[in-house]
């Protein structure tokens, strides 16, 4: 009986060469099938959001995984069919009117600024300034909304893409346990414990973001609806929905909403409060600044937690990078992606310097500071 010969180990150069080939092949696949990536991301998001409902049905009703997944999707699709029938018609009506009013507001602004102002020997041409501002805004917004928005419109309008997203997300939920078991077998045995800990930490980040962000968006939309009716804000429903959606853009969303609403109130005024438009705008700004502090210091820590909490500068840079790489989808997913990369980079740096990657850190990091430059509490 001949003993099996020991398998020769790959040299360092061979490992580097194979790793480089695999990386190039992966980049080639991403480039060739980049059209499919946004629908796959949307399918993964849908599966991630529905998974808790499936887990609850499976444990409480003692159903099989497949039957619980099917029941959850039937319930979700029924809700998604009822909500548009109730809320979309009035919302579309307000959005249409809002678009018309913004066109008139833009004309008013151009007429207001499109005048020549003479200050001694200095002459300021308002028309030229307006044209430069519009051109600069278009240059900023085109890369932001150009790529992903076009794909999103195609996904919404194409029945085939919708079916694709639903089917893929269904199987991601149904076979999630097998997929997780397969993923845990990929790392070498010595690193599987680290893989599980990293997976748990990153899963907590994305769970806090998606489920918490949906709850936060709905809460903010309700708050803005009530406050808008009290203040007499024009197009209250449309602006409330916009406020909820902009909660997915941390730190920057507040400024975008306040700019839009302030311009609208300055030219339209309140629907029932007999005050000058500028005074209503001042009241709106004051109330929004108060709400911003409540949102940052109370709502976000309690609904989402501190796991995704990043420094505003990091978020802004991440949003710019996400917009350049993936359009609107990159903007929305910038915060949890950066938080996940923070976890992975901390692990890699610890391994490079022969330190414990899961050791207790006593010094707070830049990303752990909140808006008031105070160390964030642990989640």
pLDDT in tens, 19-70: 899 999 988 888 888 878 888 888 888 888 888 889 989 989 888 999 999 9
pLDDT at 251 over 60: yes
Query: What's the pLDDT score for residue 98?
Result: 54
pLDDT at 354 over 90: no
Quote the crossing angle between the two packed helices 65-113 and 37-61, to the nearest 10°.
130
CA atoms within 13 A on the CB side of 303: 20
> What is the Cα–Cα distance from 88 to 82, expressed in whole angstroms?
10
Query: What's the pLDDT score for residue 376?
Result: 45
pLDDT per residue as tens digits for the range 194-205: 999 999 999 888
Query: What's the pLDDT score for residue 291?
Result: 92
Return the structure tokens found at 330.
């990159």
CB 90 within 8 A of CB 225: no
Query: What's the pLDDT score for residue 220?
Result: 92
> What is the Cα–Cα distance from 116 to 118, expressed in whole angstroms?
6
Query: What's the pLDDT score for residue 267?
Result: 81
pLDDT at 79 over 90: no
CB 373 within 8 A of CB 309: no
Q: Is 112 helix (H, G, I), strand (E, B) or coil?
A: helix
Between 159-163, 304-308, 353-357, the lowest mean confidence (pLDDT) is in 304-308
- Report residue 94's pLDDT band, with 50, 70 and 90 as the boundaries: low
Average pLDDT over residues 146-171: 67
Return the structure tokens found at 225.
């609806």
Query: What's the pLDDT score for residue 379?
Result: 35
Mean pLDDT across the chain, nearest whole number? 77
Q: Which helix (H) or strand (E) holds 43?
A: helix 37-61
pLDDT per residue as tens digits for the range 281-328: 999 999 999 998 888 888 877 777 666 767 777 877 888 888 777 777
CA nearest 221: which of 267, 250, 256, 257? 257
pLDDT per residue as tens digits for the range 110-157: 565 556 655 656 665 655 665 666 566 555 545 544 444 454 455 455
Q: What does the CA dihedral 344, 347, 348, 352 come to, rounded to 10 degrees?
A: 170
pLDDT at 352 over 50: yes
């Amino acid at each position: 009986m001949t003993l099996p010969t020991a398998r020769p180990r790959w040299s360092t150069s061979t490992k580097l060469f194979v790793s480089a080939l695999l990386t190039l092949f992966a980049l080639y696949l991403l480039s060739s099938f980049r059209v499919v990536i946004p629908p796959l991301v949307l399918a993964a998001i849908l599966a991630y959001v529905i998974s808790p409902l499936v887990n609850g049905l499976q444990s409480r009703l003692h159903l099989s995984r497949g039957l619980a997944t099917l029941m959850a999707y039937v319930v979700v699709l029924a809700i998604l069919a009822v909500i548009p029938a109730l809320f979309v018609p009035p919302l579309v009506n307000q959005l249409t009117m809002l678009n018309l009013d913004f066109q008139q507001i833009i004309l008013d602004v151009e007429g207001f600024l499109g005048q020549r102002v003479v200050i001694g020997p200095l002459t300021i041409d308002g028309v030229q300034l307006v044209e430069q501002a519009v051109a600069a805004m278009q240059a900023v917004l085109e890369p932001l909304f150009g790529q992903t928005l076009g794909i999103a419109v195609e996904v919404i309008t194409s029945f085939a893409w919708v079916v694709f997203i639903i089917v893929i997300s269904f199987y991601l939920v149904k076979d999630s346990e097998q997929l997780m078991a397969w993923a845990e077998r990929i790392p070498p045995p010595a690193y599987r414990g680290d893989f599980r800990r990293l997976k748990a930490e990153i899963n907590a980040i994305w769970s806090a973001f998606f489920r918490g962000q949906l709850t936060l968006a709905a809460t903010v939309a309700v708050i803005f609806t009530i406050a808008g009716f009290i203040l007499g804000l024009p197009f209250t429903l449309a602006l409330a929905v916009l406020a909820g959606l902009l909660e997915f853009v941390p730190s920057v969303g507040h400024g975008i909403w306040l700019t839009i609403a302030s311009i609208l109130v300055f030219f339209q005024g309140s629907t029932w409060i007999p005050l000058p438009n500028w005074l209503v705008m001042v009241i709106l700004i004051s109330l929004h600044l108060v709400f911003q502090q409540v949102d940052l210091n109370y709502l976000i820590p309690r609904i989402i937690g501190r796991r995704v909490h990043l420094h505003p500068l990091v978020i802004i840079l991440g949003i710019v990078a996400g917009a350049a790489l993936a359009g609107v989808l990159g903007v929305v997913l910038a915060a949890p992606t950066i938080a996940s990369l923070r976890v992975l980079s901390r692990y890699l740096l610890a391994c490079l310097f022969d330190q414990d990657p899961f050791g207790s850190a006593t010094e707070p990091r830049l990303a752990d500071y909140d808006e008031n430059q105070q160390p964030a509490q642990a989640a």
